């Protein structure tokens, strides 16, 4: 099955792979980039940062038509190339678009549209790409009945393989696809793989990959030091917050050859449902693709008593990890329980461990602990349906329990947050009455964000939530400290008031706003703030008073 | 469907706490009972079974007149969570006006939560009621514990229907969000009542405020 010519890698999904053994998710992320947005949008001082002007020229451009590509940059400095546009056939995502927003005339699905790479996140190995709906509506407004509003915003994830991909690959020979070729940095390699040189599915796992031949630096297997070197590139690490948001290093600004090499090594290393025998646990890094990495130890410690045979007990303390297809796990998540057959489980084991499990009847169900799965589960895997309607009563009826609720809120420290519903309604362009929980939910639903937590600077949770309680706890401690430290330093430097701090942590990015005793943290969906969103969240902050 | 007593100008709503065994239903009621002044509540009646309990108590609200001159009473019930007591659950759910579905946030309770939620749906169906028509809210309980699933997973499991309901992260043992949950379900229920049946109150007694 051919890859699309615009197949790019989300580098973070593999970056942890060669890392040292650790079950700890917080273990050495090579870089954690701190961005700050101060009141006057000035950039905080961070070492090894290119000039602000340099960065500002690199804001994403979303072409409304298949316009000519920007001139390729031939600069040999470390700065990223100017934005190349990726050509995507409509058919790749058309079926994923909300039907109620689509124009009645079905477009030619082979038509290529242009998307700035900053706006697309490609999951390496999973052969999937994600683009915000609003970006698609800007790229091909004619297929929509109306402009996509903020409230319509959803990420559109689509496959890069299959028949549509094949047709796209053919189309890549057409002139429209040229931008990709010309815009890619000429130096190290190209993102473009001509359709006819792309490997078939079977070859991608082990055989030499044609992409390699296009690399000036050969596609050697990824080593941790290489990843380090990618991430230590001084140029792309810190960006000023601009009107068009920040550019994510991991998605966009890593040199292309490195991206391809990372993708290569990952593709060659992990066939589905195969064991990575003897490999040390690397933090579930394959989860962003169509497979999920699990610590064998964690599965074994959760075996039902009947299966705890001595031969298996011998394995306690093993650091082996197994890889299971996400397709096998995801459909079961809605049941609150995930199992695989012993046969499948054994297939995923490294050869040397298989004999330990031979006595188990192949059809026996092996439970896979959810906790373990969630360590690496892509958040899209548990996305709520897109047509949901919230049921919040519009007006508040005075119930006999309200006073107690308010009293308790006070007692538990939840009370004092006053919300100005009218002003918040104006911010969110809604008639709905907004209380604190609704407001925080709405913040988490803004384009490009996936969740939102409000807590006090003392660490007390007030509303919303992040992906896990551990994250919430850590953030509630870390964020106020960071602000305190950063504010005191920035004051010396005579910058404007610090409003936001953005942390880039592997594939996750989070931004925290702090005002008075309130601390609001958002998790980003793939890349930092879209234009205007940071300001919107800040405006919400201004309406919350503790 | 609420019971309306025109002579006494009284209206009575039934709110049922559902959820898997040991998710914290009884703890919710114990807390509510403990916080409401004796003059405004009945006794907390526990019909204990060996491993689980069914609870029932009457509650006379503080603000006695809230609906067009009618005293409004709320009967709060919990259903026994254990699978074997389904007959009791069906009985308790009869004529329910509002449901609080209490989810146990602990990782190893996810399947039980899902099963219990399905059971609630089925039991309502047996009364020709759809969950979509019954006012309900979700309570994600035991958020104080360490080994809990992220709330977005609980939402995915239990709040992924077309109609997304309000949810509350609670610690029933200390009372965090116990009253917020009750307040929310009461609001949804009263809104529904006002919308669908509010005019009933006005007819025989003519007692609009
Ligand atoms: N830590 C913690 N324990 C709880 C919470 N809610 C209930 N429990 C405990 O869970 C157990 C079962 O609670 P119970 O209310 O009897 O559950 P029921 O079967 O749903 O009625 C009891 O030991 C409670 O103390 C909570 O929020 N946090
Ligand atoms: Mg009970």
**A297 within a domain of the structure (yes/no):** yes
**A540 within a domain of the structure (yes/no):** yes
**A389 within a domain of the structure (yes/no):** no
Contacting residues for A263 by C-beta, under 8 A, at least 6 apart: A9, A14, A124, A125, A211
Cα separation values, A452 from A278, A455, B75, B140, Å: 39, 10, 35, 17
Cα separation, A248 vs A185, in Å, equals: 18
pLDDT digits 0-9 by tens, A432-451: 878 888 899 999 999 999 99
The distance between the two most distant Cα atoms of chain A, rounded to a whole number of Å, is: 73
A39 versus A396: the higher-pLDDT residue is A396
- Same-domain pairing of A288 and A303: yes
> Which residues are bridge partners to A429 per DSSP?
none
Question: What is residue A435's predicted lDDT score, i.e. its pLDDT?
Answer: 82
Question: What is residue A376's predicted lDDT score, i.e. its pLDDT?
Answer: 84
Question: What is residue A142's predicted lDDT score, i.e. its pLDDT?
Answer: 81
B51 three-state secondary structure: coil
Summary mean pLDDT of chain A: 65
- Same-domain pairing of A132 and A181: yes
pLDDT digits 0-9 by tens, A326-385: 999 999 999 999 999 999 999 999 998 998 888 889 999 999 999 999 988 887 889 888
Is the pLDDT assigned to residue A100 strictly greater than 90? Answer: no
- Same-domain pairing of A468 and A514: yes
A295 three-state secondary structure: strand
CB contacts of B147 in chain A (<8 Å) are 371
**The token pair that represents B2 in the structure block:** 């609420």
The distance between the two most distant Cα atoms of chain B, rounded to a whole number of Å, is: 55
Q: Is the dihedral of CA A479, A481, A482, A487 positive or negative?
A: positive
Query: Which of A391, A412, A437 shows the shortest C-beta gap to B163?
Result: A391
A294 three-state secondary structure: strand
pLDDT digits 0-9 by tens, A211-258: 222 332 333 333 333 333 333 333 222 222 222 322 222 222 223 333
**A447 within a domain of the structure (yes/no):** yes
**Chain B within 8 Å of A404 (Cβ-Cβ)?**
yes
Is the pLDDT assigned to residue A415 strictly greater than 80? Answer: no
**A258 within a domain of the structure (yes/no):** yes
- Same-domain pairing of A289 and A247: no
Question: What is residue B49's predicted lDDT score, i.e. its pLDDT?
Answer: 55
| Segments of chain B with pLDDT less than 70 | 46-67, 198-209
List, in order of start, the domains of chain B with CATH numbers.
3-199 (3.40.50.300)
Cα separation, A129 vs A137, in Å, equals: 16
Across residues A460-474, what is the average pLDDT?
A: 82
**The token pair that represents A234 in the structure block:** 């001084």
B13 versus A421: the higher-pLDDT residue is B13
Q: State the Cα torsion A284-A290-A296-A299 to the nearest 10°.
A: 110
- Same-domain pairing of A22 and A139: yes
Give the atom of ligand 1 at the shortest distance from the alpha carbon of B142. 27
- Same-domain pairing of A243 and A366: no
Burial of A200 (0-12, 13-18, 19+ CB in 10 A): exposed
**Chain A within 8 Å of B46 (Cβ-Cβ)?**
no
**A438 within a domain of the structure (yes/no):** yes
Question: What is residue B207's predicted lDDT score, i.e. its pLDDT?
Answer: 36
- Same-domain pairing of A188 and A306: no
Ligand 1: which of B17, B22, B56, B104 to mutate, judged by most atoms within 8 Å of the beta carbon?
B22
- Same-domain pairing of A254 and A314: no
Interface confidence (ipTM) of the complex: 0.88
The residue from A247, A268, A289 where one domain ends is A268
| A441: CATH | 3.30.450.30
The residue from A382, A402, A429 where one domain ends is A382
Is the pLDDT assigned to residue A86 strictly greater than 90? Answer: no
Preferred mutation among A400, A450, A466 to probe B, highest tally of B CBs within 10 A: A400
Question: What is residue A159's predicted lDDT score, i.e. its pLDDT?
Answer: 82
CB contacts of A437 in chain B (<8 Å) are 166
**Bridge pairing between strands B136-141 and B98-104:** parallel
Question: What is residue B62's predicted lDDT score, i.e. its pLDDT?
Answer: 44
**The token pair that represents A384 in the structure block:** 């709520």
Question: What is residue A35's predicted lDDT score, i.e. its pLDDT?
Answer: 52
- Same-domain pairing of A260 and A300: no
* Range list of H helices, A232-341: 256-269, 296-300, 310-313, 326-333
Determine, for residues A404 and B166 on separate chains, whether the beta-carbon distance falls below 8 Å: no
Give the atom of ligand 1 at the shortest distance from the alpha carbon of B141. 27
Confidence bin at A465 (pLDDT 50/70/90):
confident
Q: Taking each helix axis from N to C terminus, what angle separates A421-428 and A533-543, rounded to the nearest 10 degrees?
A: 170
CB A6 within 8 A of CB A465: no
Q: Which ligand is nearest to the CA of B28?
A: 1
CB contacts of B66 in chain A (<8 Å) are 397-400
Rounded to 5°, angle at Cα A245 from A244 and A246: 135
Question: DSSP letter at A393?
Answer: -
pLDDT digits 0-9 by tens, A197-209: 333 333 333 233 3
Report the 10 Å Cβ neighbour count for A268: 17
Cα separation, B11 vs A190, in Å, equals: 74
Give the gap in angstroms from C-alpha B153 to the nearest C-alpha of chain A: 7
Is the pLDDT assigned to residue A430 strictly greater than 80? Answer: yes
**A388 within a domain of the structure (yes/no):** no
CB contacts of B161 in chain A (<8 Å) are 385, 388
**The token pair that represents A54 in the structure block:** 């340099």
Residues across chain B: 209
- Same-domain pairing of A59 and A125: yes
pLDDT digits 0-9 by tens, A257-308: 333 333 333 333 333 333 333 333 333 434 345 889 999 999 998 888 888 7
pLDDT digits 0-9 by tens, A101-128: 888 778 888 888 878 776 777 777 777 8
- Same-domain pairing of A42 and A144: yes
**A399 within a domain of the structure (yes/no):** no
pLDDT digits 0-9 by tens, A154-174: 888 888 775 444 333 333 333
Where in the sequence is the domain holding A421, given as residue range(s)? 414-545
**Residue ranges lining ligand 1, Cβ < 6 Å:** B 19, 21-27, 52, 78, 81, 141-142, 144-145, 171-173
Preferred mutation among B183, B191, B192, B209 to probe A, highest tally of A CBs within 10 A: B183
Cα separation values, B158 from A294, A381, B15, Å: 25, 15, 19
Nearest C-alpha neighbor of B206 from the set B110, B100, B68: B68
CB A438 within 8 A of CB A540: no
- Same-domain pairing of A281 and A264: no
Cα separation, A382 vs A470, in Å, equals: 18
This prediction's pTM: 0.55
Q: Which ligand is nearest to the CA of B25?
A: 1
Question: What is residue A216's predicted lDDT score, i.e. its pLDDT?
Answer: 28
Q: How far is the CA of B47 from the centre of ligand 2 (A)?
A: 9
Cα separation, B106 vs B113, in Å, equals: 10
**The token pair that represents A250 in the structure block:** 């991991």
The residue from A200, A233, A268 where one domain ends is A268
Look at chain A and report how many structural domains it folds into: 3
């Amino acid at each position: 099955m051919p890859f699309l010519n615009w197949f790019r890698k989300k580098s973070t999904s593999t970056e942890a792979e060669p890392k040292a053994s650790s079950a700890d998710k917080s273990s050495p992320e090579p870089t954690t980039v701190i961005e700050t947005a101060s009141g006057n949008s000035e950039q905080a001082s961070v070492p090894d940062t290119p000039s602000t002007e340099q960065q500002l020229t690199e804001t994403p451009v979303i072409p409304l038509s298949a316009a000519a590509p920007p001139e390729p940059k031939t600069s040999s400095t470390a700065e990223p190339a100017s934005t190349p546009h990726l050509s995507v056939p409509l058919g790749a995502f058309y079926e994923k678009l909300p039907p109620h927003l689509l124009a009645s005339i079905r477009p030619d699905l082979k038509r290529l549209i242009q998307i700035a790479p900053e706006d697309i996140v490609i999951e390496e190995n999973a052969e999937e790409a994600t683009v915000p709906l609003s970006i698609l509506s800007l790229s091909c407004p004619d297929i929509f009945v109306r402009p996509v509003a903020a409230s319509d915003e959803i990420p559109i994830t689509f496959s890069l393989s299959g028949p549509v991909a094949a047709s796209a690959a053919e189309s890549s020979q057409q002139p429209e696809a040229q931008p990709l070729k010309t815009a890619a940095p000429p130096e190290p390699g190209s993102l473009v793989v001509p359709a006819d040189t792309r490997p078939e599915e079977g070859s991608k796992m082990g055989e030499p990959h044609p992409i390699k031949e296009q690399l000036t630096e050969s596609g050697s297997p990824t080593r941790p030091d290489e990843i380090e070197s990618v991430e230590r590139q001084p140029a792309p690490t810190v960006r000023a917050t601009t009107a068009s948001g920040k550019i994510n290093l991991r998605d966009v600004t890593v040199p292309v050859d490195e991206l391809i090499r990372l993708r290569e090594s990952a593709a060659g290393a992990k066939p589905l449902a195969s064991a990575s025998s003897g490999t040390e646990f690397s933090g579930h890094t394959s989860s962003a693709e169509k497979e999920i990495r699990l610590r064998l130890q964690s599965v074994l410690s959760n075996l039902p008593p009947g299966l705890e045979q001595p031969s298996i007990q011998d394995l306690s303390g093993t650091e082996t990890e197994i890889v299971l297809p996400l397709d096998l796990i995801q459909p079961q998540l809605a049941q609150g329980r995930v199992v695989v057959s012993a046969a499948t489980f054994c297939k995923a084991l490294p050869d040397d461990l298989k004999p330990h499990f031979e006595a188990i009847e192949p059809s026996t169900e092996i439970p896979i602990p959810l906790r373990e799965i969630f360590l690496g589960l892509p958040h899209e895997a548990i996305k709520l349906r897109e047509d949901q309607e919230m049921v919040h009563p519009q007006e508040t009826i005075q119930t006999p329990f309200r006073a107690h609720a308010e009293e308790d809120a006070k007692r538990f420290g939840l009370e004092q947050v006053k919300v100005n519903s009218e002003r918040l309604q104006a911010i969110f362009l809604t008639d709905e009455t907004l209380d604190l929980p609704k407001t925080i939910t709405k913040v988490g639903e803004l384009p490009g964000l996936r969740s939102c937590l409000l807590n006090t600077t003392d660490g007390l949770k007030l509303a919303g939530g992040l992906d896990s309680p551990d994250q919430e706890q850590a953030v509630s401690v870390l964020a106020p400290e960071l602000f305190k430290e950063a504010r005191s330093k920035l004051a010396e430097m005579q910058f404007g008031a610090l409003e936001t701090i953005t942390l880039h942590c592997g594939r996750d990015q989070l931004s925290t706003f702090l005002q008075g005793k309130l601390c609001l943290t958002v998790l980003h969906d793939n890349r930092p703030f879209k234009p205007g969103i940071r300001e919107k969240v800040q405006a919400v902050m201004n309406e919350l008073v503790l | 469907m609420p019971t309306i007593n025109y002579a006494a100008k009284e209206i009575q709503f039934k709110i049922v706490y559902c959820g898997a065994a040991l998710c914290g239903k009884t703890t919710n009621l114990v807390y509510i009972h403990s916080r409401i002044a004796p003059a405004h509540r009945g006794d907390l009646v526990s019909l204990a079974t060996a491993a689980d309990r069914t609870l029932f108590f009457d509650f006379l609200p503080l603000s006695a007149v809230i609906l067009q001159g009618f005293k409004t009473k709320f009967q709060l019930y919990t259903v026994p969570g254990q699978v074997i007591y389904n007959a009791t659950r069906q009985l308790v759910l009869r004529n329910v006006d509002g449901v609080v579905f209490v989810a146990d946030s602990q990782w190893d309770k996810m399947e039980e939560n899902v099963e219990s939620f399905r059971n609630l749906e089925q039991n309502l169906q047996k009364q020709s009621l759809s969950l979509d028509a019954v006012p309900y809210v979700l309570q994600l309980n035991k958020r104080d514990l360490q080994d809990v699933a992220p709330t977005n997973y609980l939402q995915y499991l239990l709040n992924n229907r077309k109609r997304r309901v309000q949810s509350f992260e609670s610690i029933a043992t200390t009372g965090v969000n116990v009253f917020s949950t009750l307040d929310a379900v009461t609001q949804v229920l009263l809104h529904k009542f006002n919308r669908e049946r509010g005019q009933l109150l006005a007819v025989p007694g003519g007692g609009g405020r």
